[in-house]
Structure 1
């Protein structure tokens, strides 16, 4: 553990190891600037991935762990049809869905506030978790954030995160009450942005804060996302 913490530049922070099924993660207490801790760990770790969590009991309390192992979730996610799953869900706003609602979709002229899509507004992270795989999207196989209230379908979070990583370079920075991504390649095509907006709303229904098409316009300008839902 100490070797990993040194590589992450976090050797002075208090940390403990926890088991998630058959694998071990390192949970580091956040002190000072959480985002700087994440950047330091991201730069220093090659075979692991760091992600901030809020609240920390998503990792430390086994009650909140996935029902299956991280390895099983990653294997399931590899073949999971995210687009088909979200299109078939009741209330889906995905292209091709029979449930599309003109009021929810909007015209695209609805207002949006770029400053409102900041995961920091949901509170300071409580811990930084280092998972034993380097793929950013794999963090969702270890941590079940509130942003995707899928219950037994928690494979959706891992599969969707992998899809968004491949397409948009999206990597999770915070997982928890709200889940924040950093995005290196935002969508530029309007149709692609609308599909992505429908995916976000399908996974975490309170994300948009406006119409789906209004949110799609915001997505073309954002280098970060915040997915949010509640029971």
Structure 2
């Protein structure tokens, strides 16, 4: 049984073997290691090594084989970090794809921690153009609600606009990971409508604080917004559990 080939992982393993080698390596040697692991022919391995030569990661030492260059060593370290981050992201996405009350509450608690800081920074850094876009987002949400349509995408858009206005790449990346499935926006909007909460009101309060340039008010408005979502989720599942047969 052969393993599925992931390009970055395969490149990393090739270069890592060369990094650890005490002598130059050729395709015939790699056939017995990576070749067997991934069912790669000697020709395929040789072509891959030629690609590394072209990129400047390896250099041919006569007929003995290849060794890594300084650029190749740097590439190994870069791929190692990239793969570690990819693994962390995959684990987080698997967690976010879990369904049920506990998983949804975990997502909202994470959002609260991140988005309170985002709202605070947005109040300080938002430009007039960004405020205009936020106003337009709220107007779009209200228009859809007037037609009895839940504004899922517009909800997400509002929070993304705030994150961009905050101008903090670390916070933006972190919150995008939490949002990546998009599931919590759909579920919480449906839940809030079901339990009778008014939608968009919280967004209006957040934007008013941003317009006023008050970081403290914006942070408080965001915390109130997500706390209300948390309470609505708890209330919704409590009602669902009461309605279950035999409960």
TM over 0.5: no
Higher gyration radius (CA) = 2
Question: TM-score, length-normalised on structure 1?
Answer: 0.23
Q: Which has the higher helix share?
A: 2
Q: Which has the higher strand share?
A: 1
Q: Select the structure with the greater relative contact order (CA < 8 A; seq sep ≥ 6).
A: 1
Question: TM-score, length-normalised on structure 2?
Answer: 0.22
